[in-house]
Amino acid sequence: MSHLLHTHVSNSIWQALTERSASSGQSVSHIVQAALAESLDIEHHSIFQVSTSGALVQGLYQGCVSVADLRRHGDLGLGTFEDLDGEMILIDGHCYQARSDGTVVEAADTELTPFASVVNFAADHTAHVIDVRSYDALIAELDLMRTSENGFISIRATGTFSSIHLRTACKSESGVDLVEATSTQALFDFENIAGTLVGFWSPAYTKSIAIAGYHMHFISADRQHGGHVLDLAADAIFVELNDVNDVRLAIPETAAFLDADLSADTSAALDIAERGGRGGRPADDVTST
């Protein structure tokens, strides 16, 4: 959520702002926001991430950071919970757990996460995107908004979705790899539902740490439905992007993580686990609303 700030500044400050904008190519709004964030010790352009995608693929689902700690590092983000127990959606400072039975609850501060990414969200770019016929169509629009193949972005996109296809991971024992664990995921279809997408785009070179490419979760406006986004359609979506230039990684201190071999390329497994469900949906596993 963004807020409009009206204030008066001196001529010297305004001149310095316009000169910095001209020399850097950044908007005055972006420069002011960055200066305020630095002054107030708020990291608007930093991702705080718990563990790595490679560890998640291998089935390292032991929780290592609490929701309380996570919320101290950001007000928007996504992830999962201990033992892969559902999908995490962090929005406006509140942390929600979308469960495999279709319910959504606000997670207690004592709940633990084995993998999550959060930011203090502040939009650097905005756009009204219309006639979005699919998830891939939305991605194509987001690609046009991105300014680099090597920087990270966090995403917030709000609208009424004519259709949205979601999954929620089912609770799984640690050690069961992610592909196998998500093969029994719960799938849900909703129509004409208002809500918000939260997510990230990460560069290809981060594939052993982050989930390279796009990764988005959804939470309905009434906070009753949510999950990992597989497909969608909407007449109009208001999109906000936050540029990120700093990544902070919390390394789990569990024996399982410290002893794991995380050198393998997990791109193919992540592609199956995170994106492979969009095309295929077992009819007996889908709930429509």
Q: Residue 184: pLDDT band by 50, 70, 90 thresholds?
A: confident
CATH number for 69: 3.30.1330.80
β strands within 73-170, DSSP E:
76-80, 87-91, 94-98, 104-106, 112-113, 116-119, 125-132, 152-168
The tokens describing 169, both together, are 């991971």
Split at pLDDT 50, 70, 90, the class of 280 is: very low
Identify whether residues 92 and 217 lie together within a single domain: yes
| 124 and 263 inside one domain | yes
Q: Are residues 66 and 130 part of one domain?
A: yes
> CB within 8 A of 72, min separation 6: which ones?
none
How many C-beta neighbours within 10 Å does residue 199 have?
23
For the chain, the domain total comes to 2
User: Is residue 61 domain-shared with residue 26, that is, in the same domain?
Assistant: no
* The predicted structure's pLDDT at residue 1: 54
Look at residue 2 and tell me if it is in a domain. no
Tokens representing 136?
């891939």
- Domain match, 119 and 251 both: yes
Q: Is residue 68 part of a domain?
A: yes
- Indicate whether 3 belongs to any domain: no
- Residue 1 inside a domain? The answer is no
Residues 50-73 have pLDDT tens digits of 999 999 998 899 999 999 999 999
Cβ contacts of 267 within 8 Å, gap of 6 or more: 207, 212
Pair 236, 194 in one domain: yes
| 5 within some domain | no
Summary mean pLDDT of the chain: 88
Residues 31 and 52 both lie in one domain: no
User: Do residues 156 and 212 both lie within one domain?
Assistant: yes
Amino acid at 242: N
Task: Report the candidate in 196, 224, 189, 202 with the shortest Cα–Cα distance to residue 270.
Answer: 202
Q: State whether 80 and 54 are in the same domain.
A: yes
pLDDT digits (tens, 9 = 90+) for 244-258: 988 999 998 888 898
36 and 52 part of one domain: no
Asked, for residue 288, whether it belongs to a domain, the answer is no
Phi, psi of 203 (to 5 degrees): -65, 160
pLDDT in tens, 126-138: 999 999 999 999 9
- pLDDT for res 282: 36
Instruction: Quickly state the pLDDT bin for 177 (edges 50, 70, 90).
Output: confident
The reply to whether 125 and 246 lie within a common domain is yes
Does a structural domain hold residue 287?
Answer: no
Q: For position 284, what pLDDT does the model report?
A: 37
Residue 276 pLDDT level (bands cut at 50, 70, 90): low
Q: Are residues 197 and 98 in the same domain?
A: yes
Domain membership of residue 129 as a residue range: 46-282
Determine, yes or no, domain membership for 289. Answer: no
Q: Measure the CA–CA gap between 264 and 89, rounded to whole angstroms.
A: 28
